[in-house]
Structure 1
């Protein structure tokens, strides 16, 4: 059963400008592993975290660092959740989180499905 669905898009150049103006955001938004990715991948990960928050009902108090995008050996992305995000997912009965990332033509996008 689907518990929630979220989608988000992020203009890569605008995201990069924001990071340039406020470099401290990188440590607030991304884990140390995520922070090593190129800008287009960071924008896609930001969109994924936004999409996940939407799929979880957009409650206040979620920590960006409690949702980490990992990729397997073939490049398939998945979420590793902990802390505030794991607690919200558990409260909703989420057993699986599916995520798809894309970036093309200057836009990063993400789609998330939370499933019981």
Structure 2
């Protein structure tokens, strides 16, 4: 089974969502440090949308920190799953997750493919 999830939000929507919570609600410290010298809101916004897509598919709501997103030197995102998210992916027969990120001046879009 392959499942594709596309999410698009405006930069303003992302800022509003992210600033309602403490930093560690959505991201671990390592993720926050990895985007310090980049376009922070776009980088964090894309990570948030990826995590949200996966959590919604798994019917989870608060396990944002069970998904860690790192980057290879090339910039390609690497997803690391822990805890309940890892268990739910296994239960659903999901062994591969691919992501694509795109952003413009005003919008962030992500594509998540679960197979």
TM-score, scaled relative to structure 1: 0.82
Query: Contact 2:55–2:61 at 8 Å: present in 1 too?
Result: no
Matched length? 110
Deviation at 1:86, TM superposition (A): 0.4
Q: Are residue 85 (structure 1) and residue 82 (structure 2) matched?
A: no
Distance 2:102 2:72 in 1: 16
Distance 1:79 1:104 in 2: 23
What CA RMSD, in Å, does the superposition of the two structures yield over aligned residues?
Answer: 1.8
Contiguous gaps of at least 5 residues in structure 1: none
Q: Secondary structure at the match of 1:94?
A: coil
**Deviation above 3 Å: which 4+ runs of structure 1?**
17-20
Deviation at 1:77, TM superposition (A): 0.9
Q: Secondary structure at the match of 1:6?
A: strand
Distance 1:106 1:5 in 2: 23
The 5-angstrom pairing of residues 17-56 of structure 1 reads 17-20=16-19, 22=20, 24=22, 26-36=23-33, 37=35, 38-54=40-56
More strand by share: 1
Cα 1:62–1:13 change in 2 (3 A) is closer
